[in-house]
Structure 1
Amino acid sequence: MLKSVDLLHYMQPDPETVAPTDSLFKAMDIILREGISGLCVVDQQHRLLGVLSEMDCLQTILSCTYNDVCNLGSVADYMTTDVDVVQRHADVVNVAELMLKNSRRRMPVVENGILVGQVTCRRLLRAVRDFNRNAV
């Protein structure tokens, strides 16, 4: 059985982050090194400002290639600022439904605007798998 439906038990604490002033290449290096699909963008107080996905990076690089002009700027130039977020004590099932409804692979977890974690489809899959293993 699920040990809890509280997201706190399934979220990833301290996800990889970048600053909005970091270069896009730095962000890509982190994504590749860590084998993740995106990064949370935070300010110096760790307030969530947006997200940068590997798809954002890929789209930018391809655009540079096709246009023969590659003057990459900072993360702030490419990040998504309209971000769905959840609270750390949200219900896992509600979070999963929201992720499916909005086609999200990951969602930042915030408390009072401060990034405290991230939930991913992979983490939710583990929770469901564990639930099914224990239910049999």
Structure 2
Amino acid sequence: MHLGGAGEAIMLNSVNLRDHMLPHPTKVGADDSIAEAMHVIIDNKVSGVCVVDSQDNLVGILSELDCLRAMLDSTYNRTSPGRVRDYMASDNLVVAHPNEDIVDVAQDMLSKNKRRRPVVENGKLIGQITCRQLLRAVQQFAQ
């Protein structure tokens, strides 16, 4: 994969995703309140979190936009914001395996316009790859 601009070419060798993923992604439970999830997102300075069950199986993804939607819905309807399960994305989740090629994952994330991808092994959430980790990988190879 060639990356670069202004006449610069950076060659990113194919590497294992496991070497660049976040090994302990920020996560919440599906039964957590939206308010709790918002605190986790804000306190950890992330744009979204993985949603897991009690055995660390990935069941969804909750973004800042999902939380904003929940808060606006509750304001409009004059109700409590509800639970994570009510607003998380849970259908057709795209995940990565830790042994996937980082270049392939990066290209797929770009094509789907996604900023993060949970990393799952044997059904369990073991990490997450984000645009920031991909940028760090590119930076390491450029040096």
Q: Please, what TM-score do these two structures have when normalized by structure 1? A: 0.91
Question: 1:45 maps to which residue?
Answer: 55
Give ranges in structure 1 of 5+ residues lacking alignment.
none
Q: Does 1:10 align with 2:20?
A: yes
Q: Does 1:74 align with 2:74?
A: no
Give ranges in structure 2 of 5+ residues lacking alignment.
1-10
Distance 1:104 1:86 in 2: 13
Distance 1:24 1:60 in 2: 7
Secondary structure, aligned partner of 1:86:
coil
What is the number of equivalent residue pairs in this alignment?
132
Q: Does 1:61 align with 2:68?
A: no
Question: 1:124 maps to which residue?
Answer: 134
Structure 1: which 4+ aligned runs deviate by more than 2 Å?
1-4, 62-65
Identity %: 48
**Contact 2:73 2:81 (C-alpha < 8 Å) held by counterparts:** no
Distance 2:113 2:21 in 1: 18
Question: 2:45 maps to which residue?
Answer: 35
Give the aligned residue type for 1:127: A
**Contact 1:2 1:130 (C-alpha < 8 Å) held by counterparts:** no
